[in-house]
Amino acid sequence: MPYGRYSSRRFGWLLPARPAWALQELPSLLVPLGLAACGGAVAAAWPNRLLLGCFVVHYAHRALIFPLLIREGKPTPFFTFVLALLFCVYNGYLQGRSLSNYAKYPSGWLKDPRFITGFIGWLIGMAVNIHSDHILRNLRKPGETGYKIPRGGMFEYVSGANFFGEILEWFGFALACCTIESLAFALCTLFILGSRAKQHHQWYLEKFEDYPKNRKIVIPFVY
């Protein structure tokens, strides 16, 4: 799905980045909230509330806060916008429906090593994702144009630090949930963002002669 630096009119009309990003991410926030509001006893259980809260917190940031932080973002092609919107509608329904109607956990699940390890992974992944986006937004000083090599944080180890953070986040979420639906989402994230990270890595190598050779694509220490 071409967007950002790869944006092209070949994939439809170009939409302003801020509203396009907000609208495409919004269903992953609103759909789970609607399902939880209509859910039964399963939705009222604390493990389900906390896990659904993790999902909602991520998309509250992506739909409501992140678009406001975009600085002169490249326009989004209409075809990319539609695909992302459909994915967010379906995934929002999938995760929301699973956690509000079907996923049942034992009484001690919040103390289970799988939940604790997964939650920590989710938290670290989200922090890495947000910090990496902050680094990318602040690469240019006011009035500057063009691209620079990202420095600091996980960018010292991988070209796609923001993608690494989100992949870690959703695999942590999948471990904490232990559901087929959350695992499916984690795998989709790996395939989609992993391919995007590979494209970024190759782009950096071609554009910058001094690009650090020790950086991996998206998983630290592993090609």
Amino acid at 146: G
The reported pLDDT for the residue numbered 154 is 96
Of residues 94 and 14, more confidently modeled: 94
- In the prediction, which pLDDT does 6 show? 62
* CA angle, 78 then 83 then 89, to 5°: 120
Listed in sequence order, the residues at least 6 apart from 152 whose beta carbon sits closer than 8 Å to its beta carbon are 135
Q: Is the pTM of this model over 0.85?
A: yes
Mean predicted confidence (pLDDT) in 161-189: 97
Instruction: List 222's β-bridge partners, or say none.
Output: 219
Angle between helical axes of 161-177 and 180-207 (0-180°, round to 10): 170
pLDDT classification of 5: cutoffs 50, 70, 90: low
Q: What is the mean pLDDT of the chain?
A: 91
Residue 134 in this model has a pLDDT that exceeds 70 = yes
Helices (H) and strands (E) in the chain, counts: 9, 2
pLDDT band at 75 (very low <50, low <70, confident <90, very high): confident
46-60, 138-152, 193-207: which range is least confident on average? 138-152
pLDDT of residue 3: 63
Q: How confident is the model at residue 7 (pLDDT cuts 50, 70, 90)?
A: low
What pLDDT does residue 36 have? 93
Distance between CA 189 and CA 186 in Å, rounded? 5
Q: Where are the alpha helices (DSSP H) in 17-112?
A: 17-25, 27-38, 41-44, 46-60, 66-69, 78-97
Which residue in 175, 157, 167, 223 sits closest to 192, CA to CA?
167
Rg (CA), the chain: 18
What is the average pLDDT across 143-152? 85
Domain residue spans in the chain? 1-105, 112-223
In contact, 136 and 150? CB cutoff 8 Å: yes
Whether residue 223 has pLDDT greater than 70:
no
Interatomic CA distance for residues 10 and 56, integer angstroms? 33
Tokens of 139: 């690469």
How far apart (Å, rounded) are the C-alpha atoms in residues 204 and 211?
A: 7
pLDDT of residue 107: 92
In this prediction, residue 190 carries a pLDDT of 95
User: Binning pLDDT at 50, 70 and 90, where does residue 222 land?
Assistant: low
